[in-house]
Structure 1
């Protein structure tokens, strides 16, 4: 199974970007997202950027990944899912039933 990771662009050229996440650097293809700028946050799967993220979305993904790791280690994790606390889960719009 692949997990997409938020990474930050530290340099780029026409088709690739050098990205960093927690002190690890990777050369990433940007063929699917087009031109990127230094500081952009990208969702990366197997060394390919699949989407440009805004800062809030990148933080939520990082928090969720940290929360899963904490839960697996038996550590507190609820605070890392703050966006889910005190609300009912909702299906994305495209998965909700339509009324005839």
Structure 2
């Protein structure tokens, strides 16, 4: 969620979802002071993680994918970085491949 305003003490933030459909007040005490315009991952009324704009976009795409899958739609466009490529092992597993 994007922070659109802060309480006087900075402990609470009025936040809006990326598509503007959800407005929520989140407790910022778990993540510390944040600027207006910043992005946070909110759950049960609290900000749990600070996100970059890119991370926020990925989270929003993943949440949209869940909805689309439940409706029987394709989600490939939301995961363009994963479609049509072979998975890659992390470096620490490559030597154990066989």
For residue 15 of structure 2, the aligned residue among 6, 14, 19 is: 19
State the number of aligned residues.
89
Q: Which has the higher contact order (CA 8 A, sep 6+)?
A: 1
Deviations 1:11-70 (A, max 9, x none): 013211000112321110000111111110100011100111001111111111111111
The structure with the greater share of residues assigned to strand is: 1
Q: Which runs of 4+ in 1 moved over 6 A?
A: none
Give the structure-1-normalised TM-score: 0.77
The gaps in structure 2 that reach 5 residues or longer are none
Partner residue, 2:35? 37
Q: Which runs of 5+ in 1 are unaligned?
A: 1-6
